[in-house]
Amino acid sequence: MGESIIRIQDVRKVYLIGKERVVAVGRISLDISKGEICCILGPSGSGKSTLLNIMAGLERPSRGKIVIGGTDVTRFSEKKWALFRQGNIGFVFQSYNLMPTMTAVENVALPLTFCGMNREKRTRMAVQMLKAVHLGSRLMHRPTQMSGGQQQRVGIARAFIAHPKIVFADEPTGNLDTKTSREVMELMVAMAKKYGETLVIVTHDPDIAKYADRILTIRDGRLLSDKPNHSVYGNKEEQAV
């Protein structure tokens, strides 16, 4: 499905807990194409989150190589990663991770603030983005004044605002009820499709995985299966109806 946006080769991550070596991720290689909606599915402790963190540069692999959009980022310094993330990577978290002291607009505009965009422009973009996630009436609300679903929609707006190449979502519906989960997932997938962005979702919930084009199953740090979605759950549009 088109050009490769994420390519990881023989990535391995070993933690040293006390004197014991714990293999979190063992020799995984995979390719994710541009515009793909990809789900990494696995139970807790399977190493799926570690894999995501490695792809996002939050953790360093013990071994292996990571190439994102043609750039070898394996040896990037913390500062380089930060700058790289500004324009290339968006994040959606399980616990939303909004800045508690900021309004919705400020939260959404935050990645642009870090880029150095001027206030007027980034506010305009943030307002537009919030309207796109149906939060036009909550622009000046703080996270504590919003429901979980609303907060996560703010999170999604924030992840997509800088139009990154890739959006990572780590258990994005972990704290939400089923109905809200569905809304959030649909929104996220729609946004990714709309902007042609690559979406990597990490979850333990097979119901979430059904929104993806491709499902990677991980267990004990190893890639168990790698299948296009319709072979497992069928087309997501049918499911959603």
Binding residues (CB under 8 A) for other proteins: these are 53, 56, 58-59, 78-79, 82-87, 89, 91, 93, 95, 97-102, 110-111, 113-116, 118-119, 158
Please, what is the minimum distance in Å from the beta carbon of residue 57 to other proteins?
9
Q: Compare residues 201 and 215 and give the one whose CB is closer to other proteins.
A: 201
- Write out the DSSP string of 120-156: HHHHHHHHHHHHHTT-TT-TT--GGGS-HHHHHHHHH
Using the CB atoms, write b or e for 153-190: b if 16+ within 10 Å.
Answer: bbbbbbbbbbebbbbbbbbbbebbeeebbbbbbebbbe
Sequence-ordered alpha helix ranges (H) in 40-97:
48-56, 78-88
Query: What is the C-alpha separation between 159 and 234, in angstroms, rounded?
Result: 28
3-state helix vs strand vs coil in the chain, percent to 5: 40, 30, 35
Q: Compare residues 35 and 111 and give the one whose CB is closer to other proteins.
A: 111
Please, what is the minimum distance in Å from the beta carbon of residue 155 to other proteins?
10
Please, what is the minimum distance in Å from the beta carbon of residue 174 to other proteins?
11
Please, what is the minimum distance in Å from the beta carbon of residue 101 to other proteins?
5
Please, what is the minimum distance in Å from the beta carbon of residue 170 to other proteins?
9
Contact 166, 4 (CB under 8 A): no
Please, what is the minimum distance in Å from the beta carbon of residue 68 to other proteins?
14
Burial (CB < 10 A; 0-12, 13-18, 19+), residue 77, is exposed
Q: Compare residues 83 and 232 and give the one whose CB is closer to other proteins.
A: 83
Q: Compare residues 80 and 230 and give the one whose CB is closer to other proteins.
A: 80
Q: Compare residues 119 and 227 and give the one whose CB is closer to other proteins.
A: 119
Q: Compare residues 14 and 83 and give the one whose CB is closer to other proteins.
A: 83
Query: What is the C-alpha separation between 86 and 223, in angstroms, rounded?
Result: 29
Query: Which value, to the nearest 10 degrees, does the dihedral of the CA atoms of residues 87, 54, 35, 163 take?
Result: -20
